[in-house]
Structure formats: C-alpha cells, structure tokens
Structure 1
Amino acid sequence: MRGRHRGLPHGTQPVPLNQDATIPLPGRTFDDYLAALPSKRRVSVRRERRAFAEAGYELRTLRLSECADDAGALAAQLQARHGHPADPAFMTRLLREQADGMADTGTVHAAYAEGRMAGFSLSYHHADTVWLRSTGYDYARLRGAHEYFNLVYYLPIEHACAHGATALHLGMESLRAKTLRGAVASPLWAVEGA
C-alpha cells in the first residue's frame, strides 16, 4: 500500500496495526443469531450454553456502580493471569471512575457462586452496537462451564438483541474465538508520515 492515497496528506502512509472483531446480529433474538452460524458452530454454542446453565450460577444484570468493587477484583485476576500488573484497588478505582464518567450506563452481566461474583462482563450500548469493555473472573470459583463465552458473548448477545442492537463489538484480542462465534474481522490502520 505504498504511494499516494486519496484523502491522505502527501507523504503519509497507512500502516496495518491489528484487526477488530464485531458480531453482526441479524434479527431480534438469540435464536436469530444462532441461525446465522454454521451447523457445527450452532451445536457447540448450544453445548456451551447448556453447560453454563447446568453449572448453577446465579445470573445478575447490574449497573457498574452496584458492583465495581467485585468487578475490579476480578478484572485484576484476569490481568494477572495474562502477565500484566494487577492491583485490585487500581482496577476498582478505574471501574468506579468509568461508572461516574459514563453516567452509569454500562451493563454488567455477572455470574455468582455461593453469593460471590465469579465472573462478569461490562458493555455499553451506543447507537445500534453493544461495545464490550471489560471482563474478569475469580478463577478459584469457576466451574469449568464455558464462563468466558457465556459472559462475553452469549449473555451480551441476548441483551443486545432484546434492546434493538444490530452488532456486538468485541475488540482485537482472541480473534479466532470471536470469528468462530460469528464475528467479522476488519483491519485497523494508523497513518505514518514520510
């Protein structure tokens, strides 16, 4: 992609950075989303949802302000698991500030075990898209029931469909898992000067 690009100042070049993933949501129900997947994927998704339902979690849909302390501690566990600095107090403060800064419009899907949060996802609905923002897990409380896929994909998809959204934006990481669940990848670019 070298040379002059229409709309870019002379001497600048687009540089590929990564790929972004979004799941299109055709229709108004989870079943509509499911019907758009290949047959083998539908079987896998149903199996993952069944295992999660059978795990016996108490599911709650919350505002971030109601659970920022618990969510911050779980987000820190996720960060630590992936080798990043993980101070629970910092993550909690970050989520509280986010709740304040976003007028507490985020939706938290949370799974509770024995009365304590075991996993969560945080998303925001803007225009026709639900934007996934954060997730976290208490790994000692998980029951091996596809918690990640249910909290990050399936519960937000149900919520998005119920609220008229036509897409779930998932970001850049774990692209293969996302495309297996119907996500479409699109390139992200930066512009560098000559």
Structure 2
Amino acid sequence: MGQHDDGTDYFSDPLGGLTDKQWDEMAGNRFYSSAFWLRLCALEGGGASGGVHVTLPDGGRAAVPVIAVGADPHPNCRWATILAAHGLPSPPEHGIYVGQRRGYLANLLTSPGTDAGSAAGRILEAVRSALPPVPPATESAQVAVHLTTPDVIAFREAGVTAEPVLLAADAWIGIPPGGWDEWLESLGSRHRIRRVRSEVRKFEQAGYRVTRRTLAEAWADVARLAIHTERRYGRAGDPSIYYDGFRSQGELAGSRAEVLLCAYDDGPPVGCCLYYRDGDTIYLRAVGFDYERLRGAAEYFNLAYHLPAQLPGVRWLHAGIATPDGKALRGAELRPLWLLDLSSTSVLDDHRDEIRAHNAALRADLAERSPAVAAAVGSAEWERFC
C-alpha cells in the first residue's frame, strides 16, 4: 500500500493524514476539494476515502483526494459505467478514483505559488504507485473524473497519454457587484429578463412563506421532499438512507449548510433548496418538492436560483452539471469537465480519434440546444480537446 513521505498511509483518513488546515492551504477556495467536504463525503460508503499528497522541491505541497474502487464502489465512482454511457471502452474497473463522491468537480491542489506542471508530475507518480485497500485485482487503473481543463493540461504535460473524455458542462452563474438588478440586466436579452421577472412575480403572488434554516434544523423536511422528487424521476431508494444521510450531513455541516423552505397556510414545507455557502459562493446541492401541493409558480427556479442570487454578498452560484440549457439562459458560464485515465498505459490510448469525435459531438449537441448554450461552449477550454 502506498505511503507518504512521512510514513502515513494514503487511506489513513479522508485527507491522507494531513490536518484540515494543511489540506485547506492547498484547496483554497475550491469548496468541493476542501477538508470539510471530503470529510462529509466520507460519511458515505462505497470505497475507502483517502488523500495522496507530496512534498515538492520548492517546499510546497500538492494533493488530490482519492477513493479506493473495489468490488462494490460508490455509484458515482464507477468509471466503467460512465465510459459505457458515452460509448467508450474502459480501463480495469478496480483501482483508484481521483476525485470525490459528490460535487462533480475535481481539482489538482497545490500550495500557493507552486508550479502546476511540477505538482502534476509528482502527484502522478504517487497515484500510480498507490495500492488501494481493496482485494487485489489482476489489473487496476487510476482514473480522474470531472477534472477541469487546466488540470487536464497539467497532467498531460506531466506524461499522461490518454485522451481526456468530455463528460459534462459545469454551470457557474456570476452575480455582479450591483447584485440582483445588475444581474438581471447582464442577461442581455429582453426576453430572458422578462422571463425571470415573470417567474419571480408568479412566485410572489402565489403567497408562499419562505424561511431559511440550517440543514441541522431542517434535515427531515429536506429528506421528505427529496424523496418526492427522486420518486418523480424513478430514482428513490430506501427512505431511511435519505433521512440518515441528511441528518448526518447537518450534524457535520453546522451553519455551512442552509435550506430555503417554502410553505403556505402554516402547513409543512412544499419545497426546499439545500445549498452550502463558502465565502461569496453558493453551491447548490439539492431541491425537493411535494408536487401535488405546488401552485405552478416557478417554484424550482425561484428556490434554486432567484432567491439564492439575492442573498447578501453572493457573487457566484455553482449550479452543477444538469440542465445546462436552462442555466445558460440565466447567464451561466459553462465550463467543461473531463475524465482522464492517469494510468501509465490505458485502453483509451488506442482510441484518440474516437474520443475526439465523441468530445466534438457532445459539444455540438450542447450548442444546438439554444444560442445561449452555443455561446457558453465556445471558449478555448472547450476547444482544446474537441
């Protein structure tokens, strides 16, 4: 099993033996790579959580969160399933997943001022030499999922030969210094502005009572409403998993996890939005609705976007990877996220042209959804591997 320079094990804990402070000095403002978030993700099963970190020649550090992928991995860590959904072959199914279970955004972490290329090379060596604490397999792989374009470039320059596979568009909605009114004007299109104003007006006229609570206070309502939404889309499992999961998250998160609840007539909430606040950024995590009791007043858009955007001091809403067209219409930047096989040899090495064609086709499919999406996927970050 791999070990760090100080002898601690990669999988000794979710941070690989570092303190929260040491880890967060590298994570900076990357919330989904923070010590808090990694410890929260480790509450779930499906493989041991760890951290690979190295000391660099300049005295700085570099790190990545990792998960041991064995016979029963977490559903989000099955790279073979992810690649099959994109019609591509997969590396061996066991090994090390570079990233975290939740959040859909992985990063190469470095001390401030550290050269990313040097850091990627040292991390690559450490990840490839690590042995996860799972039953031995004939073959294993090291796969990073939901990497940003700059990190893909750094790992490729460090020696990764496999072509990156485009997975998704990560949506970021910027709120200008002038707040809500300036954000509305930034949408540009009169049609978009009228649409948002109409959604807000409908919600206000519906007579909902909106309250803000911590997840520790509202976990039962969040679980109940999330189950409604998951059932609507045929995904709900054992209800106890939702209740236990949100209660555990609330206990660990404290004031960092907030919930917007809407209700009427003093009854139980009929809608909710769970988010995490980190500095000037809100990370949207979950919405849930009792659909039979809604009033058709654009409840989703108001709870998930319009109300969070009006909170004091908010400059960014991280809206994740689903429904990029609706988010682009609300001014979101869409940034590509990639799967990259870090293994020294990869089955994907022989499929460069096929992967490039897949990437270009996925980008074109996104662009065809609307002029707003087409504009959002036109940057150099998208063009590099398409």
TM-score of the superposed pair, with normalisation by structure 1: 0.90
C-alpha contact (below 8 Å) 2:211/2:261 kept by paired residues: yes
Aligned Cα root-mean-square deviation (Å) = 1.7
Select between 49-58 and 109-118 the one with higher mean Cα deviation. 109-118
2:253 is matched by which residue type in structure 1? M
The count of corresponding residues between Structure 1 and Structure 2 is: 188
Structure-1 residue corresponding to 2:202: 51
Match of 1:19 among 169, 179, 182: 169
Match of 2:185 among 32, 35, 49: 35
Q: After superposition, where does 1:67-78 map in structure 2 within 5 Å?
A: 67-78=218-229
Instruction: State how far apart, in whole Å, the 2-side matches of 1:190 and 1:151 are.
Output: 31
Structure-2 residue corresponding to 1:157: 309
Select between 101-110 and 70-79 the one with higher mean Cα deviation. 101-110
Structure ID, larger Rg: 2
Deviations 1:109-168 (A, max 9, x none): 110122210101011111331100111001111000000000001011111xx1x23110
Q: After superposition, where does 1:179-194 map in structure 2 within 5 Å?
A: 179-192=328-341, 193=343, 194=346
C-alpha contact (below 8 Å) 1:73/1:89 kept by paired residues: no
2:171 is matched by which residue type in structure 1? A
Secondary structure of residue in 1 paired with 2:157: coil
Instruction: State how far apart, in whole Å, the 1-side matches of 2:309 and 2:284 are.
Output: 10
Structure-1 residue corresponding to 2:216: 65
C-alpha contact (below 8 Å) 2:273/2:284 kept by paired residues: yes
1:19 is matched by which residue type in structure 2? A
Secondary structure of residue in 2 paired with 1:103: helix
1:178 pairs with 2:327 = yes
Secondary structure of residue in 2 paired with 1:26: coil
Instruction: State how far apart, in whole Å, the 2-side matches of 1:103 and 1:65 are.
Output: 6
- Higher RCO, Cα 8 Å, sep 6+: 1
Instruction: State how far apart, in whole Å, the 2-side matches of 1:87 and 1:152 are.
Output: 25
Structure-2 residue corresponding to 1:81: 232
1:124 pairs with 2:276 = yes
Secondary structure of residue in 2 paired with 1:143: coil
The 4+ residue runs of structure 1 with deviation greater than 3 A are none
Instruction: State how far apart, in whole Å, the 1-side matches of 2:156 and 2:241 are.
Output: 44
Are residues 10 and 47 of structure 1, via their aligned partners in 2, closer, same or farther at CA, if it must alter by over 3 Å?
A: closer
% identical aligned pairs? 36
1:141 is matched by which residue type in structure 2? R
Secondary structure of residue in 2 paired with 1:120: strand
Structure-2 residue corresponding to 1:148: 300
Instruction: State how far apart, in whole Å, the 1-side matches of 2:239 and 2:208 are.
Output: 23
2:332 is matched by which residue type in structure 1? A
C-alpha contact (below 8 Å) 1:113/1:141 kept by paired residues: no
Instruction: State how far apart, in whole Å, the 1-side matches of 2:162 and 2:253 are.
Output: 35
Deviations 1:37-64 (A, max 9, x none): 1221111101000000000011101111
1:167 pairs with 2:316 = yes
Structure with bigger strand share is: 1
C-alpha contact (below 8 Å) 2:256/2:278 kept by paired residues: no
Instruction: State how far apart, in whole Å, the 2-side matches of 1:136 and 1:65 are.
Output: 17
TM-fit CA distance, 1:6: 4.4
Are residues 187 and 55 of structure 1, via their aligned partners in 2, closer, same or farther at CA, if it must alter by over 3 Å?
A: same
Instruction: State how far apart, in whole Å, the 2-side matches of 1:89 and 1:104 are.
Output: 24
Instruction: State how far apart, in whole Å, the 2-side matches of 1:11 and 1:86 are.
Output: 39
TM-score of the superposed pair, with normalisation by structure 2: 0.47
Instruction: State how far apart, in whole Å, the 1-side matches of 2:239 and 2:156 are.
Output: 47
- Show structure 2 runs of 5+ residues with no match: 1-154, 347-386
C-alpha contact (below 8 Å) 1:20/1:186 kept by paired residues: yes
- Show structure 1 runs of 5+ residues with no match: none
Are residues 113 and 8 of structure 1, via their aligned partners in 2, closer, same or farther at CA, if it must alter by over 3 Å?
A: farther
Are residues 10 and 145 of structure 1, via their aligned partners in 2, closer, same or farther at CA, if it must alter by over 3 Å?
A: closer
Instruction: State how far apart, in whole Å, the 1-side matches of 2:181 and 2:328 are.
Output: 18
Are residues 11 and 170 of structure 1, via their aligned partners in 2, closer, same or farther at CA, if it must alter by over 3 Å?
A: same
Structure-1 residue corresponding to 2:74: none
TM-fit CA distance, 1:89: 2.7
Select between 39-48 and 80-89 the one with higher mean Cα deviation. 80-89
Instruction: State how far apart, in whole Å, the 2-side matches of 1:189 and 1:95 are.
Output: 29
